[in-house]
Amino acid sequence: MNDNLIDKSFVKNPGNSDGILNGRAFKFGDNISTDLIAPGRYFHLRSNLPELAKHVLEDADPQFAEKVKMGDIVVAGKNFGLGSSREHAPTIMKLAGVGAVLADSFARIFFRNSINIGLPVLVCDTSSIDQGDSLKIDLKSGIIKNISKNTEIKFNPLPDVMIKILSDGGLVEHITKNKGFNL
């Protein structure tokens, strides 16, 4: 596994410095499963995440991996990330450049995995966001500005434990720094 590449991408998260994320919206529907994000037929690429990332969300939008740019934002309906526990799903989204995921709701394991690897996942009403809208997310104030539409959306604050894990840089970093849990 190419650990360096993963690490670099985590550090490079465009929102980490000032908590501001800017990107274009890529809109998806309800029930986007981890099979659509990281298809089982690429099981053998799980030990080669940069290669697997070339197929990210392929079965939901075959051109997504080509179109996505650093910092772009995935916007979806309800129950995003349902299905398998494969952490490879949020990991390759992050590797492909996705800066954050906004959804009406998330499946539990995907949500937890995303925080553990440092991908911001935010629950909000996404109905007013359209494909290609330019978004500015302020992680600290909890507000998403839709620059294209000149509107504002509030997102639900993360639980405190998750903020602690995120701000340590992920779960591995949290455990290493604290020599165990310190939540």
Partner 1 sequence: MGKTIAEKILSQHSGRDLVAGDIAVVDVDVVFAQDGTGPLAVSQLRKMNFSSVANPSKSIFFIDHAAPSPRKELSDSHKVLRSFASESGAILSDINGGVCHQVVAEHYACPGNIVIGADSHTCTAGALGAFATGMGSTDIAVGFALSKTWLMVPHTIKVNFEGIINKGVYAKDLIIYLIKKITADGATYRAIEFSGSLSNGLEMEERLTISNMAVEAGAKAGIFATDAKTADYLKKQQRGDCFREIFADNDAVYEQVINIDCRTIEPMISKPHTVDNAVSVGKIGEVKIDQVLIGTCTNGRLSDLRIAAGILKNKKIAKNLRLIIVPASADVYLDAIKEGLIEIFIKSGATITNPGCGPCVGVHQGALAEGEVCLSTQNRNFKGRMGNPGGFIYLSSPATAAWSAVKGYISDPREALK
Q: How far is the CB of 152 from partner 1 (least distance, A)?
A: 26
Quick one: which H or E segment has residue 21? Answer: strand 20-27
Question: How many residues form the binding site for partner 1 (CB under 8 A)?
Answer: 44
Confirm or reject binding of residue 74 to partner 1 (CB under 8 A). no
Confirm or reject binding of residue 44 to partner 1 (CB under 8 A). yes
Candidate residues 35, 61, 138, 168; the one interacting with partner 1 per rule CB under 8 A: 35
- Stretch near partner 1 under the rule CB under 8 A, chosen from 21-29, 103-111, 131-139, 145-153: 103-111
Tell how many helices (H) and how many strands (E) occur in the chain.
Answer: 8, 7
How far is the C-alpha of 143 from the C-alpha of 36, rounded, in Å? 29
Within residues 127-166, the interface with partner 1 by CB under 8 A covers 159-161
Sheet holding 20-27, edge to edge: 121-123, 100-103, 73-76, 20-27, 134-138, 143-146, 151-154
Q: Go through 96-114 and write b for each residue having 16 or more CB atoms within 10 A of its CB, e for each that does not.
A: bbbbbbbbbbbbebbbbbb
Q: How far is the CB of 116 from partner 1 (least distance, A)?
A: 4
Quick one: which H or E segment has residue 76? Answer: strand 73-76
Residues that bind partner 1 (CB under 8 A): 1, 3, 31, 33, 35-36, 39-41, 43-48, 59, 78-79, 82-88, 105, 107-109, 112-113, 116-117, 159-161, 170-172, 175-176, 180-181, 183
